[in-house]
Homo-oligomer: A and B are copies of this chain.
Amino acid sequence: MDKKMIGSRSIRFATSPYIVGSYSLVGKKEGEGPLSCYFDEIEEDPMFGGETWEEAESRLQYRTANKALENSGYKQEEIRYLVAGDLLGQLIATSFGVMDLQIPLFGIYGACSTMGESMSLGAALVEGGFADKVMALTSSHFAGAEKQFRFPLDYGNQRPLAATWTVTGSGAVIIVSEEEMRKHKEKNNPQEPYISITGITTGKVLDFGVKDAMNMGACMAPAACDVIYHNLKDFNYKPDEYDKIITGDLGYVGKDILLDMLKEKGYDIASRYLDCGIEIFNKEEQDTHSGGSGCGCSASTLTGYILKKMKKKEWKKVLFVPTGALLSPVSFNEGNSVPGIAHGVVLEVEQ
């Protein structure tokens, strides 16, 4: 039994849960960025047909989930569990967004690391034999997040250069057992390589005392460093084991801190490092300062970009590390620091 637990912080999955369907849906601004051609769908209407920002995000999440189901060929009643969350207080985008799916729900909160957490738990539920099919889902919405965490958009508030731009986007993956994957493959894509989740490294809350909610990259970099370091140690890998090591939303500021911190610990990952927040926007043209952020940033970049690169075998093995800043409007206003957390997921494409 112990063989699944690797080192102090990681799991190696023996039968590798597989991803058999996914979907990425983003907003207009994200659709104008460098990953434009990769996203499955771009919605021009920031309200997604809803009447409030929260309803907009619920609709964004619901449509993404439904399209991922369509994409996988499964019906909603076939999915044993939904592991989902968002950035808003009391997961309100998820609570209202997934209601109509009527799939048993584990609601989770990991700030912008949520996609890593949902995939970790989803893969464990499948690998443990507790589910044959699980959906991992998350989202964020620029306007909902600004309203929740910062200032109403109408203020036209200025943003410092260290600030990131919350991505309007959602990503969903359907994770299934090896047996289900074989059936799926036979029926749908016998020639296509499938991507498996071969391991996870789970993060803990780390607080370096940074109190600037407009510099979340700095708040989250230590947590990302901790997870990447333990992943490499637990699996006994050198960084070049991975074609890419991809964090969620450290942005330009957090990236530099992460690379420095890992170098101090003896790991130089610069040549294979990417950050979803950096990839998703064009810094010069889109005025997004340090990059993109939000649960939807890593979720839509994974499902829109990373998985597609892997399907083409341009990248064969990826360490995906969504990163989260653990603040609330209350904790921030009370003068607290912003702790960080990160969750690592090892992805491999079939050879």
Interface residues of A in 183-228 (CB under 8 A from B): 202-207
Q: Which one of B9, B107, B109 lies within 8 Å of A90 (CB-CB)?
A: B109
- Would B330 and A54 count as touching, CB distance under 8 A? yes
- Would A329 and B103 count as touching, CB distance under 8 A? no
Separation in Å of the A295 CB from the closest CB of chain B?
12
Cβ-closest 8 pairs across A and B:
A128-B128, A89-B89, A90-B328, A104-B202, A95-B326, A1-B129, A92-B328, A99-B205
Distance A106 CA – B326 CA, assembled complex (angstroms): 13
Closest to A120 in B: B106
- Would A105 and B341 count as touching, CB distance under 8 A? yes
**Taking the complex as formed, is A110 at the interface, i.e. its CB lies under 8 A from any CB of chain B?**
yes
Q: Which one of B81, B107, B206 lies within 8 Å of A110 (CB-CB)?
A: B107
Distance A115 CA – B177 CA, assembled complex (angstroms): 28
Selected interface stretch from A25-33, A261-269, A285-293, A331-339: A331-339
Distance A107 CA – B81 CA, assembled complex (angstroms): 17
- Would A334 and B54 count as touching, CB distance under 8 A? yes
**Taking the complex as formed, is A127 at the interface, i.e. its CB lies under 8 A from any CB of chain B?**
yes
Distance A326 CA – B107 CA, assembled complex (angstroms): 11
Distance A202 CA – B130 CA, assembled complex (angstroms): 11
Q: Can you show 28 pairs from A to B with CB atoms below 8 A apart? A: A1-B179, A4-B128, A4-B129, A5-B129, A5-B130, A54-B331, A85-B109, A88-B89, A89-B329, A91-B109, A92-B330, A98-B205, A99-B205, A99-B206, A102-B204, A103-B204, A105-B203, A106-B110, A106-B121, A107-B108, A107-B117, A107-B341, A121-B121, A124-B130, A127-B130, A128-B128, A128-B129, A148-B330
Distance A321 CA – B121 CA, assembled complex (angstroms): 21
**Taking the complex as formed, is A131 at the interface, i.e. its CB lies under 8 A from any CB of chain B?**
yes
Distance A11 CA – B128 CA, assembled complex (angstroms): 11
**Taking the complex as formed, is A125 at the interface, i.e. its CB lies under 8 A from any CB of chain B?**
yes
Distance A108 CA – B129 CA, assembled complex (angstroms): 21
Distance A176 CA – B88 CA, assembled complex (angstroms): 33
- Would A339 and B99 count as touching, CB distance under 8 A? yes
**Taking the complex as formed, is A348 at the interface, i.e. its CB lies under 8 A from any CB of chain B?**
no
Closest to A52 in B: B334
- Would B96 and A339 count as touching, CB distance under 8 A? yes
- Would B132 and A5 count as touching, CB distance under 8 A? yes
- Mask of A134-168 contacts with B, CB within 8 angstroms, 1/0: 00000000000000100000000000000000000
- Mask of A36-75 contacts with B, CB within 8 angstroms, 1/0: 0000000000000000101100000000000000000000
**Taking the complex as formed, is A111 at the interface, i.e. its CB lies under 8 A from any CB of chain B?**
yes
**Taking the complex as formed, is A232 at the interface, i.e. its CB lies under 8 A from any CB of chain B?**
no
**Taking the complex as formed, is A182 at the interface, i.e. its CB lies under 8 A from any CB of chain B?**
no
Separation in Å of the A245 CB from the closest CB of chain B?
19
**Taking the complex as formed, is A259 at the interface, i.e. its CB lies under 8 A from any CB of chain B?**
no
Distance A332 CA – B89 CA, assembled complex (angstroms): 12
**Taking the complex as formed, is A327 at the interface, i.e. its CB lies under 8 A from any CB of chain B?**
yes
Closest to A203 in B: B104
With A107-B117, A326-B90 already in contact, the answer to whether A130 and B99 are too (CB < 8 A) is no
Residue numbers in B under 8 Å from A204 (CB-CB): 102-105
Distance A84 CA – B98 CA, assembled complex (angstroms): 22
